[in-house]
A and B are shown apart, each in its own frame.
Chain A
Amino acid sequence: MAVGGGSPLTQMLIRGGRVIDPGQGLDGTVDLLIERGVVRKIGNQITQPEGAQVVDATGLVVSPGFIDVHCHLREPGHEDQETIASGTRAAAKGGFTTVCAMPNTSPPMDSRAVVDFVSRKAREEGVVRVLPIGCVTKGSAGVELAEMGELGEAGVIGFSDDGHPVADTNVMRQALSYASAQGLPIMNHCEVPELFNGGCMNEGWVSNRLGLKGIPRSAEEIMVGRDVSLAELTGGRLHLAHVSTEGTLDHVRAARERGVDVTCEVTPHHLTLTEDAVLGNPGDASGPFAALTPAAYFTNAKVNPPLRSRRDVDAMVEGLKDGTIDLIATDHAPQTRVDKLCTFDEAAFGISGFETALGSLMSLVHADRIPLALLVEKLTLAPARFLLASDGHWHRLDEGLGTLKKGAPADVTIFDPEADWVVEADRFVSKGKNTPLDGATLKGRVTTTIVGGEVVYQAAAVD
């Protein structure tokens, strides 16, 4: 389907829900009228127009559609892991109406041809909006800059060699500087290769007892320190992908104080899971000192950056609350069964994250650690701001992205914050069943996802 191609006459009235729209400071029970793919009216007791479809949202939360600035749709090249068709459907099921696709495809998105291919595929086969991210360097090899100007013209929202850091300091300097002409960010995966050094989980007690090679926090923090310094030097826009350590946030706070243009994102798993997940038995309270069982070396908990310590996870939640962390992004990284059915060393990094994002994040709300309105903001308004911060000449994005203001595109996510459900990876829409949450009970699930006025996901009435 063509995204946003709702029939011009279609009207939809979403009634009785708690509308949370941080973009207009709104949090209350109001109705929402959608017409021709845009928000027509928002207010109390809207009269039902003749022929309008009515959605009863009583007891549900109505939010601007979620925006994910960091995911892997794998197409072209890794269609066994995910396709644009399957990935966007998984996104829709998770409440995401706009997703930004990382360029580590095969071939990578380092040229206009590949970006155009992805955009066309997304228009033809996708069900949510797909915004491509371009490579920083040709082939993501870290040596020569990709043709960033042309990639910008092709509509990329930023540049990243994600999966790998931009390791060469001078290349990173040039990238930040060059991209500043278009106001586009460099979204760096910060990890010093010499300290990563074949590691496969966080360095600490758990890696020690498992005999696995650890990745120290310094691997991330050193490159974050380098990059904020380069952003300051060049005036370029730096975006830190998937931050995971307490020390990283200290760098960000200090840089902000000096006025450096730096933003950062955190994933749902780095906000909710610790390295103990690698021990297996999720939900088991036996703790990190108990004897291992055959469930240990749990490859679905292998992700990069690695799940860190409790202290880091707590720092992430704090950072989200105090604004150090701008937004939440899933880093949805689908892998095949074979990619994970092996020893921990051999297993691929990555978590299939779209379909569990809201449910796992809601655990923070239910535990009174963050307010619901803040969670919605970090999934909607905040990523929209990040995307809209680039020069409008380049991005061609609608200014109404991320809000439900009158006239904004009707991208809406409706969710039940109280619904309990059990994660069943085998029933994921994503081709990637790789989740450490399989079998876990989450509280909070998406019921309806609307893109440009069209329902792209509707949960079964009784599930």
Chain B
Amino acid sequence: MTQTSRVKDRPGIVPVVAGPSAEPRRGRRHVLDLDDFSPEEIEAVFQNTDAMKEVLHRDIKKVPTLRGKTVVTLFSEPSTRTRVSFEQAGKILSADVINVSGGGSSIEKGESLYNTALTLQAMNADIIVVRHPHSGAPHFLARHLDSSVINAGDGAHAHPTQALLDMYTIRSHLGAIEGIRIAVVGDIMHSRVARSNLWGLTRMGAEVVLCAPPTLTPVDFLDGYRSAEGHPFSSVRVVSDVESALEGADVVMALRLQMERQRAGHLPALREYSRMYGITPARLELAKPNALVMHPGPMNEGVEIDPEVAHGARSVIEEQVTNGVAVRMALLYSVVTSARGARSGGDGGGRR
């Protein structure tokens, strides 16, 4: 794959932000997904995350980087870790963080996303962090607003900050992402986490195996379409047998199985899903001896993941949460350093 070779040919000089005190480089205006991140840029995010993590471990967890900036978290869907993580990231960087959620706001009164967004813009929000049940809501906002937009999860589409923290966690344990084998097991079809990880992991040269019942695998992953020239996921292996997926894996990532999939007919029963696809201690034995166990949360313990695995020695699930704050600090920083003057044209040029 071309992405892989680009990692290898990566030039030595990557303009990297060494931390809040360093000379700012031009960041990006929006974080909508990882499909427009180069391997170099992902690596730069990791290095910035290292710097941010250092801040997290100080006694006084506060730096003035985003002082005077307003970050609005606009969450039209329930969330604990992502929203709190963004809020904490913003506050540590001294931004003014305003949380808007579905309940108790005009969203509940039926105000359209468009009008809500214009209202937030009129209040001079510099960055809007959006979580929305509809795929593409962040793109919609980016198309119509001057503010920067960070996607905190949109429908079944993307969750780029989750994928970056997943990859950061892998990198901090295994040293690199290139060449590692990662098995992603679960509801690929409805998973924004899986989609963003696919873009990021393949771009960084990982070997990805997707495993799901065929009813939860996107149809175009099942047919021959991935052989089309230039398909970004042509190297990805898709299997429906969990044992072969886990065999020799460096990382095992379980995805949350939504209870409604059974009612929608994708599955006969959660019990059977757990039997056929659950990550159990016995199955984990098939992976490499020090394989990492990951989960984006929230978990259904006993369904997609056995509690013993979820809380076992190889689990880095809680560490994912900690890294999430640092990654989001790095991204807020990156977005805010995209000077307003540089915003005409480029990635912001949408239709009307």
Residue ranges of A at the interface with B (Cβ–Cβ < 8 Å): 203-205, 208-214, 216, 280, 287, 289, 291-298, 338, 341-346, 438
Contact status A342-B112, CB under 8 Å: yes
Contact status A295-B140, CB under 8 Å: no
Q: How near does chain B come to A378, taking the closest CB pair, in angstroms?
A: 31
The CA-CA distance from A235 to B228 in the complex, in Å, is 44
Contact status B156-A211, CB under 8 Å: yes
Q: Which residues from chain B contact A342 at a C-beta distance below 8 Å?
A: 112-114, 140
Of A210, A292, A293, A345, which is in contact with the most chain B CB atoms at under 10 Å from its CB? A293
Residue of A nearest to B133 (CB): A345
Interface residues in B123-160 by Cβ distance below 8 A to A read 132, 134-137, 139-140, 142-143, 154-158
Q: Which residues from chain B contact A438 at a C-beta distance below 8 Å?
A: 351
Contact status A294-B134, CB under 8 Å: no
Q: How near does chain B come to A422, taking the closest CB pair, in angstroms?
A: 15
Q: How near does chain B come to A215, taking the closest CB pair, in angstroms?
A: 12
Residue of B nearest to A280 (CB): B351
Assuming the A-B contacts A216-B219, A289-B232, A294-B30, are A343 and B137 also in contact, with contact meaning beta carbons closer than 8 angstroms in the complex? yes
Assuming the A-B contacts A204-B220, A292-B35, A294-B350, are A211 and B140 also in contact, with contact meaning beta carbons closer than 8 angstroms in the complex? no
- From B114, B220, B230, B350, give the contact of A341 (CB < 8 A): B114
Q: Which residues from chain B contact A287 at a C-beta distance below 8 Å?
A: 230
Interface contacts beyond A289-B232, A294-B30: sample of 10 additional A-B pairs, CB < 8 Å, sorted by A: A203-B220, A205-B220, A211-B158, A212-B157, A289-B230, A291-B36, A292-B36, A297-B135, A344-B135, A345-B136
| B192 within 8 Å of A (CB atoms) | yes
Contact status B158-A294, CB under 8 Å: no
| B33 within 8 Å of A (CB atoms) | yes
The CA-CA distance from A342 to B32 in the complex, in Å, is 17
- From A203, A338, A346, give the contact of B219 (CB < 8 A): A203
Say whether chain A's binding surface is mostly helix, strand, loop, or mixed. Answer: loop
Contact status B230-A294, CB under 8 Å: no
| B91 within 8 Å of A (CB atoms) | no
| B348 within 8 Å of A (CB atoms) | yes
Q: Which residues from chain A contact B228 at a C-beta distance below 8 Å?
A: 205
| B218 within 8 Å of A (CB atoms) | yes
Contact status B350-A295, CB under 8 Å: yes
Contact status B135-A345, CB under 8 Å: yes
Residue of B nearest to A211 (CB): B157
Assuming the A-B contacts A208-B221, A211-B156, A297-B135, are A291 and B35 also in contact, with contact meaning beta carbons closer than 8 angstroms in the complex? yes
Assuming the A-B contacts A208-B220, A211-B135, A211-B192, are A293 and B350 also in contact, with contact meaning beta carbons closer than 8 angstroms in the complex? yes
A-contact bits for B16-40, CB 8 A (1 contact / 0 none): 0000000000000010110110000
Q: How near does chain A come to B3, taking the closest CB pair, in angstroms?
A: 11
Residue of B nearest to A343 (CB): B134
Q: Which residues from chain B contact A214 at a C-beta distance below 8 Å?
A: 219
The CA-CA distance from A287 to B112 in the complex, in Å, is 31
- From A204, A210, A338, give the contact of B135 (CB < 8 A): A210
Contact status B158-A343, CB under 8 Å: no
The CA-CA distance from A187 to B60 in the complex, in Å, is 71
The CA-CA distance from A203 to B221 in the complex, in Å, is 12
Q: How near does chain A come to B325, taking the closest CB pair, in angstroms?
A: 25
Assuming the A-B contacts A295-B143, A297-B136, are A204 and B219 also in contact, with contact meaning beta carbons closer than 8 angstroms in the complex? yes
Q: Which residues from chain A contact B10 at a C-beta distance below 8 Å?
A: none
Contact status B157-A210, CB under 8 Å: yes
The CA-CA distance from A104 to B280 in the complex, in Å, is 54
Q: Which residues from chain B contact A344 at a C-beta distance below 8 Å?
A: 134-136
Q: Which residues from chain A contact B349 at a C-beta distance below 8 Å?
A: 293-294
| B231 within 8 Å of A (CB atoms) | yes
The CA-CA distance from A297 to B113 in the complex, in Å, is 15
Interchain Cβ contacts under 8 Å between A and B, 21 examples: A205-B225, A208-B218, A210-B135, A210-B136, A211-B154, A212-B136, A212-B156, A214-B219, A280-B351, A289-B230, A289-B232, A291-B36, A292-B139, A294-B140, A294-B348, A295-B350, A297-B139, A341-B114, A343-B136, A344-B134, A344-B135
Interface residues in B150-172 by Cβ distance below 8 A to A read 154-158
Q: Which residues from chain B contact A294 at a C-beta distance below 8 Å?
A: 30, 32, 139-140, 142-143, 347-350
Of A210, A298, A338, which is in contact with the most chain B CB atoms at under 10 Å from its CB? A210
Q: Which residues from chain B contact A338 at a C-beta distance below 8 Å?
A: 112
A-contact bits for B207-237, CB 8 A (1 contact / 0 none): 0000000000011110001001011100000
Contact status A345-B230, CB under 8 Å: no
Q: How near does chain A come to B73, taking the closest CB pair, in angstroms?
A: 18
Residue of A nearest to B158 (CB): A211
| B195 within 8 Å of A (CB atoms) | yes
A-contact bits for B102-116, CB 8 A (1 contact / 0 none): 000000000011100
